[in-house]
Amino acid sequence: AIDAGELLLFCQPKVDMRTRRFCGAEALMRWKHQRRGMISPAIFVELAESSGLITPLTQWVLEAAFDARHRWHEAGFEQPLAVNLSARDLHDPRLVDRVQGLMSAWGIREGWMQFELTESVLMSEPATVIDTLGRHRDLGIELMLDDFGTGYSSLRYLQQMPVSSIKIDQSFVRRIVDDPESAAIVRSTVELCHALHKRAIAEGVEEVAVWNALEAIGCDAVQGYYVGRPLPVNEFPAWARASRWSQPAPSTAKT
């Protein structure tokens, strides 16, 4: 797929709940297969991880995402773009140098890129991985904990990982309105995030009712179809310019 040029980079917006403005985006890979059509990364990323092909795949995504972020800057956008990394990537000793190389090649400044990681990155050689994460953070790359609540959810990992934000998994967020237990999990996670001085981001927000429930809880940011679906990265600046999430929030002050 890499050699045939069949990979595409899409991205999906994130919105700050307080300002109601677009505050960043997540880069998501797509494979446009000649016969099978669009294949979801949910299928091929796992295959790439188990076959050892994740390294060139991640390399492709990083190049495409840094290039895209450079173009965003030229188009007048300052919001960060997040790339998903696999556990394997964090064990690759060449990763930090590659990232540093891409930063200087594309003129990427501190705060422009983020990495999303799951707790599984700490499953083997946690001390080495924490060191690698710290080196990326020192380069000015913000780190986020992805799919929180579904993996090992070790509170020690949470304490040790140099992440600034936590993304609460869709499986809890989606049920927040109908299921009191999911609501309790989301509420406690947001409180935990704030107590640890981290931002809470809810994933998979599809409806206004879910937005309202998250707003009442004090969640910081959201991502999901309610805000915007993933779209090709080169279409993103036009979307962002026209979007209601780029306009000033309507005044809610009572007269």
Per-residue binder mask for ligand C2E (CB under 6 A), 106-145, x = binder:
----------x-----------------------------
Give me the sign of the Cα torsion angle 179, 167, 31, 88: negative
**Helices 208-217 and 180-195, axial angle in degrees (round to 10):** 50
Output the smallest distance, CB 61 to ligand C2E, in A: 4
Does 7 help bind ligand C2E (rule: CB under 6 A)? no
- Cβ neighbour number for residue 89 with a 10 Å cutoff: 23
Phi and psi dihedrals of 234, rounded to 5? Answer: -75, -15
Burial of 49 (0-12, 13-18, 19+ CB in 10 A): middle
Per-residue binder mask for ligand C2E (CB under 6 A), 156-195, x = binder:
----------------------------------------
Q: Which amino acid is at 77?
A: F
Per-residue binder mask for ligand C2E (CB under 6 A), 49-88, x = binder:
------------x----------------------xxx--
> Site for ligand C2E (CB under 6 A): which residue of 131, 225, 235, 247?
225
> Site for ligand C2E (CB under 6 A): which residue of 19, 40, 50, 188?
40
Instruction: Kindly state the tokens that stand for 170.
Output: 């869709």
Does 210 help bind ligand C2E (rule: CB under 6 A)? no
Q: Please tell me the count of residues contacting ligand C2E according to CB under 6 A.
A: 21
How many Å apart are CA 182 and CA 171, to the nearest integer?
8
Give me the sign of the Cα torsion angle 92, 104, 116, 62: negative
Q: Which is nearer to ligand C2E, 61 or 122 (CB)?
A: 61
Does 208 help bind ligand C2E (rule: CB under 6 A)? no
